[in-house]
Structure 1
Amino acid sequence: MTPVLYDFWRSSAAYRVRIALNLKHVAYHSVAVDLSNGAQREPAFLARNPQGLVPALDIGTTVLTQSLAIIDYLDATHEAVPMVSSDPVARSHVLAQALVIAADIHPIDNLRVLNRLTSQFGADQAARDAWYTHWIIEGLTALEAMTATLPGPFLGGKAPNLADVCLVPQLYNARRFAVPLAAFPRLLRANAAAAECAEFAAAHPDQVKPPA
């Protein structure tokens, strides 16, 4: 069975999985779940993922959820472009870099959190933007320091790894919100290398955005 990816074009978590699928050369069928109109809360989707979040990957025998868990599955079942090192220490460092984004930046800048800031605490757009920018800059500052001495061009060296797969969607979001990025030359270098990689380019939201 061809895997089915339940996806939303501008979801950074889904963007990660699209990149990983492409890097692993896994053909898949994409089904859009429109987060803008609440499709993720419909019973049919909740039956696949009780969290009501994208991505979800139906591999025929089961449905996988959570982007890093899906990528871990792909890494365990497809050898092309390893996402983490087989060396335990190097593996730990790559996971730590990826989690700066996937665990520390992304969850508290997610749309549902931003909406909660408004509905529960009365945050206006300026306050929401300030919140968003603060957590991105704090996380990227740490990640820049963590990766400053790594060989390039990718964070993974000559080939991208899990940290790159997480970085590219996060920088896409940062640019959407006009977050200043000049202080992160190492991260920008990795992002530029990814932009030249066909597998990253094909996963870009502009390439999967549904027609207006």
Structure 2
Amino acid sequence: MSLTLHGYWRSTAAYRVRTALAVKGVSYEQVTHDLRTGAQHEAGYCALNPQGLVPAMETDDAVLTQSPAILEWIDEVYPDPPLLPADATNRAIVRAMGATIACDIHPVNNLRILNALRAEFGADEAAVNRWIARWIGDGFAALETLIARHGDGFAFGAMPTIADCHLVPQVYSAERFAVDLSLYPHLKVAADNARALPAFAAAHPDRQPDADRA
């Protein structure tokens, strides 16, 4: 099967998908859409993804959108190694961890939201950074409790899961905006353990072909 991932090197949602593909050892092509220039709103891309957001993934017979759905598809189509636990209750916990990031942290810190804060509400960069830290902090506080309860080296258990595919990119974003992570020691250990793995390292934004070069 041929796969084409439409993304952007610094998009944390695309980062999640790259991570899952790397964990599974699945090859794919990348097409970049520079979010800073609004390339994701061009007509050709919107014909693929009407939301004009990244990521989107072209398969042989469909265009998949929304990173949580893409992650689940990857895990079903490429089941080894699994990114969800075998037990239904544990799968629900892992999905909830991912949703804490994908539904509650990331959307309000998305570039289009930050740009709206600047353009429509007059927020300066200090205010924008406070906004980012507030929502990351709320979500990470909840995840810290869940990881302390369910983690064993990773966000859930002793192997990486979809929860880690969400967590590592969000920690990358938190560090980029200088959010203090000392309040979340279990979360930080889980993220550090995951991003030390070769697959997670390969998905890092700085290692992507479209990354800014100094």
TM-score normalised to structure 1 length: 0.96
* 1:47 alignment partner in structure 2: 47
Q: Is the 8 A contact 1:154 1:191 kept in 2?
A: yes
Separation of aligned partners in 1, 2:212 and 2:115: 24
Separation of aligned partners in 2, 1:95 and 1:178: 27
**Greater displacement, 155-164 / 9-18:** 155-164
Q: Is the 8 A contact 1:147 1:186 kept in 2?
A: yes
Deviation string 1:80-113 (CA, Å, 9 cap, x unpaired) is: 1222223221111111111111100000011100
Separation of aligned partners in 1, 2:81 and 2:131: 35
* 2:97 alignment partner in structure 1: 97
Separation of aligned partners in 1, 2:60 and 2:79: 20
Give, in angstroms, the shift of residue 195 of structure 1: 2.2
* 1:200 alignment partner in structure 2: 200
Give, in angstroms, the shift of residue 158 of structure 1: 2.1
Q: Is the 8 A contact 1:49 1:65 kept in 2?
A: yes
Give, in angstroms, the shift of residue 211 of structure 1: 4.1
* 2:14 alignment partner in structure 1: 14
Q: Is the 8 A contact 1:8 1:35 kept in 2?
A: yes
Structure 1 residues not aligned, in runs of 5+: none
Deviation string 1:50-80 (CA, Å, 9 cap, x unpaired) is: 0001111100211101101101111111111
Separation of aligned partners in 2, 1:65 and 1:11: 14
Structure 2 residues not aligned, in runs of 5+: none
Give, in angstroms, the shift of residue 156 of structure 1: 2.9
Alignment of 1:133 onto 2:133: yes
Alignment of 1:174 onto 2:185: no
Separation of aligned partners in 2, 1:197 and 1:66: 25
Separation of aligned partners in 1, 2:195 and 2:92: 26
Query: Secondary structure of the residue that 1:15 maps to in structure 2?
Result: helix
Alignment of 1:72 onto 2:77: no
Q: Is the 8 A contact 2:22 2:203 kept in 1?
A: yes
* 1:3 alignment partner in structure 2: 3
Separation of aligned partners in 2, 1:60 and 1:74: 14
Q: Is the 8 A contact 1:81 1:159 kept in 2?
A: no
Query: Secondary structure of the residue that 1:47 maps to in structure 2?
Result: helix
Q: Is the 8 A contact 2:7 2:54 kept in 1?
A: yes
Give, in angstroms, the shift of residue 4 of structure 1: 0.5
Counterparts in 2 of 1:108-147, with a 5 A limit? 108-147=108-147
Tell me: CA distance 1:97–1:151, structure 2 relative to 1, closer, same or farther (3 Å).
Answer: closer
> How many positions carry a matched residue from both structures?
212
Query: Secondary structure of the residue that 1:148 maps to in structure 2?
Result: helix
Amino acid at match of 2:94: V
Separation of aligned partners in 1, 2:114 and 2:36: 14
Separation of aligned partners in 1, 2:86 and 2:118: 44
Q: Is the 8 A contact 1:6 1:54 kept in 2?
A: yes
Amino acid at match of 1:103: C
> Percent identity between the aligned chains?
47
Separation of aligned partners in 1, 2:145 and 2:130: 23
Separation of aligned partners in 2, 1:127 and 1:210: 26
Amino acid at match of 1:113: I
* 1:88 alignment partner in structure 2: 88
